[in-house]
Amino acid sequence: MNNEIAILMAAGMGTRMKPLTEKVPKPLIKVHGVPMIETVINGLRLRGVGHIYVVVGYLGDQFNYLTNKYSDISIIENTEYRVKNNISSIYAAKDVVGHSDMFICESDLYISNPDIFQSVLNQSCYYGKMIKGYSADWVFDQDKKGRITRVGKGGTDVYNMCGISWFNKEDSLTLINSIIDAYQQPGSEQLFWDEVVDRNLDKLNLTVHPIENSKIVELDSVKELEEEDPQYTQYN
């Protein structure tokens, strides 16, 4: 076990996955028999991450079983998830951020190969998938040395965000201070936390950690879920 922590963002309502998410939060939807969030948890635990904090909101009580199943998990409640964007989930975890190296992970990922968490990470980074051609999703621009110069939507032949990032202790402290500062500004509560990162790239030394497309499966709709796991054909 090491001194790293992980923040798992699990507060969202998963509206694009209805009707499944009307009764079950998206991270707890099972893929090949395992809740998506547990594929993330298992990868982090195999790495030896010291403690995992799950930030919950929508149907949050359903995540409580995790603290009984795993001794190294705590639940943090985001009480503002219905009215504020996901910056509110990082803000909710502010008391545990900035004291150690940390992962920030989306919880609605299906990790098909937990080895992606075994990499030696020496520089703060986002995990990224290279997508050839134009992508309208969240992407990263980089300078010639590989440092990220933009985090935003839309780009050609660039790495795409895939829901996992890692910050060393110094950068995690810079990040949470920037989140706290932004949170006090009118309108900023509607920001994605990655937009705060983009605004502070002069202070954060970030690069991209490349991964193979097949190792993380992002499932944003019932159709994509059915393509990965045929048991959901009835919903599509």
User: Of 186, 187, 202, 217, nearest to 143 (Cα)?
Assistant: 202
Q: What residue type is 163 in one-letter code?
A: G
Closest CA to 155 of 129, 125, 126: 129
Q: Which residues of 54-65 are buried (b: 16+ CB within 10 A; e: fewer)?
A: bbbbbbbebbee
pLDDT confidence bin for 60, thresholds 50/70/90: very high
Q: Which pLDDT score is estimated for 11?
A: 94
Domains delineated in the chain? 5-111+120-235 (3.90.550.10)
Reported as a single tens digit per residue, the pLDDT across 148-196 is 999 999 999 999 999 999 999 999 999 999 999 999 888 887 899 999 9
Q: How many residues does the chain have?
A: 236
| Strand blocks (E) in 107-147 | 109-111, 125-142
Q: When comparing pLDDT for 130 and 212, which is higher?
A: 130
Helical residues (DSSP H) of 57-201, grouped into ranges: 65-69, 87-92, 169-183, 193-199
pTM over the 0.85 mark: yes
Give me the chain's average pLDDT, please.
Answer: 92
Residue 21 has a pLDDT of 85
